[in-house]
Amino acid sequence: MALLSGEGWLFLLRWFHFLAGITWIGILYYFNFVQTPFFAKAEAPVRTGMIAGGLVSTALWWFRWGAMFTFITGWLIIIDRMGRLGVGGFFDTSYGWAIFFGGILGSVMWFNVWFVIWPAQQVVMQSAAQVAKGSQAIPEAAARGARSGVASRTNTMLSIPMLFFMGAASHLPMFAQTSAGAKVGALILLAIVVAAVEFNALAGPATPDKAHGGKKMLATLNGTFVAGFVLTAILYFGLEILFP
């Protein structure tokens, strides 16, 4: 039976990776394209009722575990390919660099889900539950919610180049040869982009009226889309320059 072969198990791993990834990114887009704009226009009692009523907690459960299973299965696929080609052989291929770039961007998104968005949303949900019962809101809930929002928009932005490189791995060969210097340059390029994106998300004021530069761009969906495509272009053309 084909599914019981080594290639069959790898196919199943990819299948679960796709299923988990669709769940995760689908809910990420729901939060950013549907829920957040709705909450921005809704009256406070409506927002509180939806949060305290369990809608947000249920969505966040699928959201964070979709991220976790996407993260685990994705790195198992990368490790399998490294095991077949060797680490050096893996980074001598267009596939290797594309899937590695996509994997790192996805891992940053996973980190934001589990260590920024989820902890902040726990405070927001607890505050909403207290308000629904007639108690006072948790003072830090608004700031934590704003930080969560910036991290969520950051993930939406990162999903654009992440999905580009995941698709490019098997369908868009970008180069044929690499050198040691080019490999170091590619790692530096990726590190600079990731550091800049995360610094923008995690440092400084999180509210658009107090924020500057990158945070203001992420305050709107149009700005988030533009930033995502610009980031994709920087990484793609950076690789094209490094790996002619």
Express as a percent the part of the chain with pLDDT over 70. Answer: 95
**Alpha helix locations (H) across 91-117?**
94-112
Q: Are 155 and 109 in contact (CB under 8 A)?
A: yes
State the average pLDDT over residues 98-103.
Answer: 96
Query: Which of the four pLDDT bands, split at 50, 70 and 90, describes residue 195?
Result: very high
Is the per-residue pLDDT at 207 higher than 80? no
Q: Which two tokens stand for residue 162?
A: 């992440």
Q: What is the pLDDT of residues 1-56, one digit of tens each?
A: 666 676 888 899 999 999 999 999 999 999 999 999 998 888 888 888 888 788 89
**Can you give the pLDDT at residue 17?**
97
Q: Which of 156, 150, 158 is nearest to 212 (CA)?
A: 150
Distance CA 1, CA 87 (A): 31
On whether residue 55 sits in a domain, the answer given is yes
DSSP 4: G
On whether residue 7 sits in a domain, the answer given is no
On whether residue 222 sits in a domain, the answer given is yes
Q: Which two tokens stand for residue 94?
A: 């267009």
DSSP 32: I
On whether residue 216 sits in a domain, the answer given is yes
On whether residue 103 sits in a domain, the answer given is yes
Q: Of residues 79 and 7, which shows the higher confidence score?
A: 79
Number of domains in the chain: 1
On whether residue 42 sits in a domain, the answer given is yes
On whether residue 5 sits in a domain, the answer given is no
- On whether the pTM is more than 0.85, the answer is yes
Query: Which of the four pLDDT bands, split at 50, 70 and 90, describes residue 211?
Result: low
DSSP 243: -
On whether residue 56 sits in a domain, the answer given is yes
Is the per-residue pLDDT at 237 higher than 90? yes
CB atoms within 10 A of CB 230: 14
Is the per-residue pLDDT at 169 higher than 80? yes
Q: Tell me what the pLDDT averaged over the chain comes to.
A: 91
**Can you give the pLDDT at residue 213?**
64
Domain of residue 214: give its range: 15-242
